[in-house]
Amino acid sequence: MCCNAPSFFIILYVTAVYFFGIYLNFISFQDYFECYACKELNFRQQDYDYIVVGSGSAGSIVARRLAENKNLKVLLVEAGSSGGGILQIPAVGVMLQKSSFDWGYRTVPQKQACLGLDDQVSIWPMGKILGGTAMLNNMIYVRGHPDDFARWFRDTCNYDYSIDILPYFEKLENNGTNKHKGSVPISDLPYKSNVSDYFLQAGICLGFGISDGVNAEPGFSSPKITIQKGQRWTPYHQLAKNRKRNLAIVTNAFVEKVLLRDNFEAYGVKYTHMEEPIFAKAKKGVILSAGVIGTPKILMLSGIGPKQHLEKMKIKPKLDLPVGDNLQDHVTTGLDLLTFDYSPNIGIRQMLSPWSMLNYFLRSRGPWTTVGCESIGFFNTAKEIVPELQFMIFPLGVTIDDGYYLSSLTGIGERLWKKYFAKIDKPSFTILPIVLHPKSRGTVRLKNNNPRTPPLINPNYLSDSYDIDILIQGIEMIKEFINTPPMHRLGVKLNPIKFPGCEKFEFDTRPYWECYVRHFTLTAYHPIGTCKMGEVVETDFKVKGTRKLYVVDGSILPDLPSGNPNGAIMMMAERAAEIIKHHCWKTQRKCCAAEVFQKECQC
C-alpha cells in the first residue's frame, strides 16, 4: 500500500497520533500533580486490613471483592496514574503503547528467535495505569478449554471443573442477568468490517463449525469482548463505578518491597509516592497483583526468590523460591503475510472520518469501537482434546499507516520496513497463528537491586522445536484457509516477498518457513507464569513459607490457557478473593488431609 507521497489521510493520521501522544503525557502529568496537591495524608498514616498492589485485571477484582465487606479497610496501590474517559474508546488502546501509560518493557535479545526485529528484541507493552494492561489490550474474552484447568489443579484432590472453576467464571461475567455483581461485561463485537463474515465462511468451507468462541472449542467465531456500551471496560471500571468508602486508592505509588517480619509474615509494603518513601501497614494481608513482571520483581526485591540470584544482586535472601522462572508466552508470527484484492471498509480513512466520530459519540458504534481482531479460531493439530493452535484474524496489517507508527510498536526497524513491508503493493492483513501451549520456558531476573531498574526478561522464544512445528503447521493451515472460495472472492493471496534474512531458501518450503518464524517471531502479548501456583504460591494463593502474603495475577498461572488469558486471570482473581476473604472455598467439599487450608475452613 505504499505510495510515493504520503496521502492526505496519512498526514492527518500522523498529526493526530502526534497530538494524542502529547495529550496522553499531559493527562498523566496532570494526575501526578493533582496527587501532589491533594496528598491525602490518611494514605500514609492509616493501618489497613489488606493492601492490594496493582489495579490491573486481577488486583481490581480482589480489591473490590475484599471491600465488599464493610468492616475491612482496603488500600489499592497503583504505580501508574488514572487515564480518564477518553481512553475508554476502544480504538485508542493501541495508542497507549509506548506512552507514559506503558511500562515499555523489552525482552533481552533472543538467540533463536526475533532475528529480524530491531536488536533481536520483542517489545512487551504493559499498562501502567488504573486498569492495568487491560487498558491497552484487544479486549478479547476467552475462558479457555476446561481441560486447561484440570491440568493446573491435577494435584488437588476432588478437583471438579463445575465446582472449582465454572462458578468463578459465572461470577466474573456480567452477562446481563447478574448485572450488578459481575466484574466485566461480555458482549459481541459492536463493529465488524465487511470482510468479517467471509472469514467465518472460509472456516465452514474447511469443515469447521461456528463455535461459541469462549470455551476454545474447535471452530471459528467472532470473539466475545469486554466492552460495555461501546466503551472499553475493565474490572477497574467496575470497581470505580461503585466505589466503597472503605477502599482507598493511591496512584503514582510505586511499590518497592513487601515488609516482612522474621517469621515471614507480611505486615505491609514500602512504596514511593511523589519521591517520598511510605510504609503502609496491613493487618490481615498483602496481595501482590503487579502482573507477570511487576510481581516477581517485588518478591525478589523483598528477598523472596532464587537464592543464588538474590545473593548476586546483593539482596539478603529470605526464602529460596523459583520466583521468575516458568515464564511462558503465546508466541506467534505472520504480520502482513496475506494480501487482499478488495480491501475492507476499515482503515485510516474510516477511522479519521467525522462520521465515525459522530457514530461513536451518538450511537456507541462504528469503527472507533473496533478491537482489531474480527474472528478467532481454535484447532487441534494432533489428536489432543485441548487445542494447540489459535487463529486471530485482523483485517488490517501494519502497512495501513505507511510505517509511520504501528510498525515501531512491534519492533520492525527501518531496514526491515524498507526491505519487506514497503514493498507490499496491495492491502495486506494478518492471520496470527498462535501456539497455545508452547514448550519454551523463560525467566524474569533482576538486573540490579535498584527497584527502578527494569528487570531482565527472557522468554527464550522458540528454544523448544515444538513451538516452531506448531507455528509452521499454523502457516500451512493459513494456506489451506485462504484456498477457499470465500477467500478467493476477496482475492486473498500469500504475500510472495521473501523475508529479509531468508532469501537463500526457496519460498514456501519448510526450511523457508523455519527461517521466517525465527526471524519474525512475535509475541501475542500473553506472558504468564512467573510465580507458578504449586511452586511459588500454594493453591490458596499464599506465597509458600510466608504468612499473609498472597499473589493474584497472571504470574500464578502454572501454564497458559487455550486462548487469550485475561479471562482465566480474572476467573482466578474471583476465586482468590473468595479464598482470601473467607479463608476457604465456599464450595469446598470434604477433602483429603493434604488440602492446604482444610483446618481453617468454616463455610
Ligand X SMILES: *[C@@H]1O[C@H](CO)[C@@H](O)[C@H](O)[C@H]1NC(C)=O
Ligand Y SMILES: Cc1cc2nc3c(=O)[nH]c(=O)nc-3n(C[C@H](O)[C@H](O)[C@H](O)COP(=O)(O)OP(=O)(O)OC[C@H]3O[C@@H](n4cnc5c(N)ncnc54)[C@H](O)[C@@H]3O)c2cc1C
String of contacts with ligand Y for each residue 113-142, x by CB under 6 A? ------------xxxx---xxx-xxxxx--
Q: What are phi and psi of 362, to 5 degrees?
A: -90, -35
289 forms part of the interface with ligand Y (CB under 6 A): yes
Determine the interface stretch with ligand X among 104-112, 175-183, 244-252, 529-537 (rule: CB under 6 A): 175-183
375 forms part of the interface with ligand Y (CB under 6 A): no
Count residues binding ligand X (CB under 6 A).
Answer: 11
Residue 292 CB, shortest distance to ligand Y, in Å, is 6
Pairing verdict, β 428-435 and 338-339:
antiparallel
In the list 170, 197, 476, 508, the residue contacting ligand X (rule: CB under 6 A) is 170
Those residues with Cβ within 8 angstroms of residue 102's Cβ, 6 or more apart along the chain or in another chain: 96, 125, 126, 127, 128, 136
SS3 of residue 148 by DSSP? helix
108 binds, among ligand Y, ligand X, none (CB under 5 to 8 A by kind): none
427 binds, among ligand X, ligand Y, none (CB under 5 to 8 A by kind): none
Residue 255 annotated as binding? yes
Residue 561 CB, shortest distance to ligand Y, in Å, is 9
CA separation for the pair 375, 197 (Å, rounded): 9
H/E run at residue 8: helix 8-38
CA separation for the pair 539, 579 (Å, rounded): 10
505 forms part of the interface with ligand X (CB under 6 A): no
Residue 554 annotated as binding? yes
290 forms part of the interface with ligand X (CB under 6 A): no
CA separation for the pair 302, 299 (Å, rounded): 5
Residue 97 burial (CB < 10 Å; 0-12/13-18/19+)?
A: buried
The smaller minimum CB distance to ligand X, of residues 399 and 523, is found at: 399
Cell of 308: 543464588
CA separation for the pair 350, 236 (Å, rounded): 30
In the list 208, 233, 254, 520, the residue contacting ligand Y (rule: CB under 6 A) is 254
The C-alpha angle 511, 513, 515, rounded to 5 degrees, equals 70
177 forms part of the interface with ligand X (CB under 6 A): yes
CA separation for the pair 71, 74 (Å, rounded): 10
Determine the interface stretch with ligand Y among 55-63, 361-369, 435-443, 576-584 (rule: CB under 6 A): 55-63
Other residues' Cβ atoms within 10 Å of the Cβ of residue 241: 10
Cβ–Cβ under 8 Å, residues 291 and 55: no
Pairing verdict, β 173-174 and 184-185:
parallel
45 forms part of the interface with ligand X (CB under 6 A): no
The smaller minimum CB distance to ligand Y, of residues 134 and 432, is found at: 134
The smaller minimum CB distance to ligand Y, of residues 250 and 584, is found at: 250
Closest-approach residue to ligand Y (CB): 56
Cell of 427: 492491502
178 forms part of the interface with ligand X (CB under 6 A): yes
345 binds, among ligand X, ligand Y, none (CB under 5 to 8 A by kind): ligand X
Residue 567 CB, shortest distance to ligand Y, in Å, is 6
Site for ligand X in 67-126 (CB under 6 A): none
Site for ligand X in 322-361 (CB under 6 A): 342-345
The smaller minimum CB distance to ligand X, of residues 69 and 175, is found at: 175
Bridge partners of 327, per DSSP, are 442
Other residues' Cβ atoms within 10 Å of the Cβ of residue 29: 12
Cα–Cα nearest to 43, from 74, 66, 71, 68: 74
Determine the interface stretch with ligand Y among 197-205, 286-294, 304-312, 578-586 (rule: CB under 6 A): 286-294
The smaller minimum CB distance to ligand Y, of residues 568 and 584, is found at: 568
For the chain, what is the total number of helices (H) and then of strands (E)? 18, 27
Cβ–Cβ under 8 Å, residues 316 and 303: yes
The smaller minimum CB distance to ligand Y, of residues 487 and 577, is found at: 577
331 forms part of the interface with ligand Y (CB under 6 A): no
Catalytic residues: 526
DSSP E strands, 117-177: 123-124, 140-141, 173-174
The smaller minimum CB distance to ligand Y, of residues 106 and 426, is found at: 106
CA separation for the pair 285, 36 (Å, rounded): 28
Residue 193 CB, shortest distance to ligand X, in Å, is 7
In the list 7, 194, 242, 450, the residue contacting ligand X (rule: CB under 6 A) is 194
* Binding site residues, ligand X, CB under 6 A: 170, 175, 177-178, 194-195, 342-345, 490
**Known binding positions for FAD:** 133, 255, 554
* Binding site residues, ligand Y, CB under 6 A: 53-59, 77-80, 125-128, 132-134, 136-140, 254-255, 289-291, 294, 298, 525-526, 553-554, 564-567, 569
